[in-house]
Structure 1
């Protein structure tokens, strides 16, 4: 058995049998149920998180790879370059199991496999239908803002999602036919929603009742595949072939291909925020290449590209861990916990002075610790996908303003800055002004009655009309993600006894009770997540946060490029220094120094920026 396999098995078994860990986990669950972690002082709250994470690792990681599958060809045999380079498709991250986490492998689960509900028409389309839920509980009449953050959090989140997961392009045959009320203005009755693509790895001879599985067409790893692509061909198209660099939006060899079928603006979900983040970190890649070329002038194009990719991906992971997430869940305990994921409880200052002072991830953080799968092969999960359905973060109205003097430039709707319209805005408005506008506009709160109106009635690039709110509800049902109360039970949380316990908003409680015919067990996961009372500083639900406690660390723990191979020998000394020395603010100022006044005095780029005497909206 390899060192990595021994590590994974020893850790999983040790957490189950060690008396101190059993005491910690039992105490954490008791305190969390009776008091709630958010009511505790910071140190007891951190200990509670630690115990909860151990329990979640024991009980909420389930491997769909052991379900019947066809025999799949193994990736190419490992080579020396696989040890130090990320592959385009994510293969060979685990050198002993090269298929683990690569593009085209299955989503895992955070619930037992025997609790995955089959996707029958009765369950997927049952009353209330997804469209009824969308109309009655999700439609936005007026933006409910998340006032502690700015709209870069919405752009960033979709940028990350494009790296993490995609179920692929839906087939056009056998769509779900969603029944509509007589007064529903939708132009077609019934509403048709395309199915999630099936699992091509599923064994057609699998016994009846075998749980459904799906594959992730993206790499499961946190490897910046939204920038670099998930196959060799896509990656080559992004590269200039000189000094390791990437093509940029505004150079004479635009990354937008001449083939319209591959134009990113025609991909569902493309909008201005996504284009802005892609442009920013393509530029950051090139800046890293310049930095590495200066430090190691003998390196060729391939070496510069591969080291810069490693550094850029790690910087993205760091920003998400210690800046984005603490901004959107800014409770003092979660801020401390998330920073400890990266630097350990010893903290950033100790890391900067002495590096790692302990092998323990608790003391010195996960980057540089041992690789650990906790007894279950790594993958992202369907439950992880479900809790990241956060479209209410996106505004419908966008007021673009000048970074130089805050002067109004133009008013846009979400429709104006989506699809090909996003490229038109990029051509006519400077990037500093766009970033400033996002930084000085609040996003929406992830709550009921706050879903973007445009996303409830938008035309896809293929000409199909779609209600994304109804689609989100349907997807959770289709993919066997439990309803809200069952989801909480499986995370060892107390289910809501009634509708007033589900939400403190009495009007919402009455609306949900009426819509679900008085049956609290039927309430959809997304509805429950959006209805919950939020802990202080949170822009989304505490129930969703439980999946984050588990999966936010797992994405680092399992990736050898963030653990055993997170070393100067792999990244280079100059590359490691770049990761340590930079943040979202330094990235923004490096490429757009015009934002210096707007960012002056800030320590987190995702909180509201400075404006020239104007109140943020």
Structure 2
């Protein structure tokens, strides 16, 4: 084990000084920021909107990436020099993606930041508990009537959690010294105060104070490597493999681990039917890739087939998220073009497929297959990234399951009946084509105030702890040192809300917010402000959250060697690259569930509402 005090949290490495933008580029960036402030990217014609977003991303890359791995560290895992296999295979724990910095992005490495260290300290008590997260939950978040997001289908909610399980986890927290939320006299909660587990501290930080904000470890690999399917350590990965033809084990009517409940994902908070469906779909997709590879390369071993199939499956998932899921949930014409350009470049998919990369420019030919670039800051997902992805309003409380054959009603259920081990009951009762059809023909919730799932406000975890997840979301963002709404906007180069009337276009909400925050606009929580603010056309969530997406959606691609310089036939095989480029969420669904063809023929994007049978 090593001890590595490495100085304070730098924004960038020494090369940044040599990478200062040219006077022209600096002027362009400032101009685009001024245009965004005065007009708004969303109000411009698409070409001008794209130019504005490009300038905003340039600024965010230079000013909103902060490295926490440079904070003093101890007891870091030892890593030796890369082996030959590391050059062509993803490791189970995310090590060796960057061959010069093997620990970068690995499981149990630190979250980075998008705000400077001076802004990343959590507030002290009692300020951190004010206003009461529980009262915010009751007064501002409680769903009285379901507000649907009508531009998308409920698969977007299942997909998002499927992605979150790959990207981020702070662990289960500790109840040794829980937060204590005092409750109002009229609160029906069973007992006061309400205990909330504290996020686990970073064990790699020395105990002595260093004047820097706290850090926390990500239990998952930071890379876009489908670790939710493949595990985050060699033992977990081995348990998920069949040992034959490179394939993964596929559960039938229940868990992969009926005799090992500690491994069963149903016993982890957050497990539900939608998540299980996505796992089953992409387990089968991995195995279909193995079948194709075995046909093309009959002499390959189980290990060779597994490693190539994992690369291909993970990249396909990243592509689906980039060019289908995200454009569906933020379906403004400008953002659709911008997000697809991350993968294909602004020259578009047709040129990409016909000619491949015709330029080293990520703007013209996309990020994928280009050069790897960390923009001077070691790669990590960030606490701010986690904060803006708290989108539980996507989940409806009430669900209807219908037949894909004739749209007949099979069952109505509450979200409680879809969560935890109950998900297995639904899977045993209904065929997967009917479940996917039911999700595809129903809507998720809009990410807005007064639309938080009631079930999650009285959520009983597998360990029997009762929690109000809305209150926990509020407290967790504060605890992790993410600034409140107005300061967050300032640090992301946005204008702060001047008052409550300018924060939201709903006068009744403005008054509710004013009362809750005692007329102090600076105290509004980030999540509350994002839920309250007006959304651009086609957005299921806020423009403030989108600023983190502008930066981090491309960074997850730019930094990953397997999605940039090693996105080649030599690493993936030509068969693998063709599989990625020629497939989509629609083709994945139809490969495994051809019964969905008549419903999917009505949509260009599988996350748009499907036509009922």
TM-score, scaled to structure 1:
0.96
Contact 1:247 1:254 in 2 (8 A): no
Runs (4+) off by over 3 Å: 8-15
Residue aligned with 2:411, SS? strand
1:365 corresponding residue in structure 2:
366
**Map of 1:491 onto structure 2:** 492
The equivalent position to 1:173 in structure 2, one of 169, 173, 176, is 176
Cα gap change, 1:11/1:431 in structure 2, threshold over 3 Å: closer, same or farther? farther
Determine the C-alpha separation between the residues in 2 that align with 1:12 and 1:245: 44
The answer to whether the 8 Å contact 2:122/2:482 transfers is: no
Q: Which runs of 5+ in 1 are unaligned?
A: 1-7, 613-617
Listed as ranges, the matches of 1:139-288 within 5 Å are: 139-207=142-210, 209-250=211-252, 255-288=256-289
Per the TM alignment, residue 259 of structure 1 is displaced from its structure 2 partner at its CA by 1.7
- In the alignment, structure 2 segments of 5+ residues that lack a partner are 1-11
Residues 495, 254 of structure 1: alpha-carbon distance in 2 compared, 3 angstrom cutoff:
closer
Q: What CA deviation, in whole Å up to 9, does each residue of 1:166-204 have, x standing for no partner?
A: 001211200000011000000010000000111011111
> Residues 129-185 of structure 1: CA distance to partner in whole angstroms, max 9, x if unpaired?
100100000000111000000000000000000000000121120000001100000
Q: Is the 8 A contact 1:240 1:247 kept in 2?
A: yes
Corresponding residue number in structure 1 for 2:5: none
2-structure distance, mates of 1:368, 1:260: 41
SS in 2 for 1:367: coil
Corresponding residue for 1:391?
Answer: 392
Distance in 2 (alpha carbons) for counterparts of 1:262 and 1:74: 27
Query: Shift in Å at residue 73 of structure 1?
Result: 3.0
1:173 aligned counterpart, secondary structure? strand
CA distance in 2 between partners of 1:553 and 1:580 (Å):
18
CA RMSD across the alignment? 1.3
* Aligned length, in residue pairs: 602
CA distance in 2, matches of 1:14, 1:566: 28
- Paired residues of 2:178 and 2:197 also in contact (CA < 8 A): yes
For residues 255 and 245 of structure 2, the distance between their equivalents in structure 1, rounded to whole angstroms, comes to 17
1:100-111 equivalences under 5 Å are: 100-111=104-115
Distance 1:583 1:348 in 2: 13
Secondary structure of 2:401's aligned partner: strand
SS at match of 1:158: helix
State the secondary structure of the residue aligned to 1:411.
strand
Question: CA offsets per residue over residues 463-522 of structure 1, 9 Å max, x none?
Answer: 100100000000011001000000000011100000010000000000000010000000
TM-superposed deviation, 1:249: 1.7
The Cα of 1:122 is off from its aligned counterpart by 1.6
In structure 1, the residue corresponding to 2:148 is in which secondary structure?
A: coil
What is the rounded CA distance, in whole Å, between the counterparts of 1:98 and 1:79 in structure 2? Answer: 11
Question: CA 1:65–1:494 in 2, change beyond 3 Å: closer, same or farther?
Answer: same
Correspondence list, 1:51-70, <5 A: 51-70=55-74
What is the alpha-carbon distance in structure 1 between the residues aligned to residue 519 and residue 20 of structure 2? 40
Residue in structure 2 matched with residue 3 of structure 1 by the alignment: none
Aligned residues of 1:15 and 1:21 also touching (Cα < 8 A): no
Give, in whole Å, the separation in 2 of the partners of 1:250 and 1:11: 53
Q: Give the SS at the match of 1:58.
A: helix
Shift of 1:592: 0.3
CA spacing shift, 1:383–1:582, aligned 2, 3 Å:
same
1:33 aligns with 2:34: no
Q: Are 1:470 and 2:471 counterparts?
A: yes
Q: CA deviation at 1:71?
A: 4.1
Instruction: Assess if the C-alpha contact under 8 Å between 1:599 and 1:605 holds in 2.
Output: yes
8 Å contact 1:38–1:45 — kept in the other structure? yes
**Structure-2 separation of matches of 1:331 and 1:499:** 26
TM-score computed with the length of structure 2 as normaliser: 0.97
Deviation at 1:20, TM superposition (A): 2.2
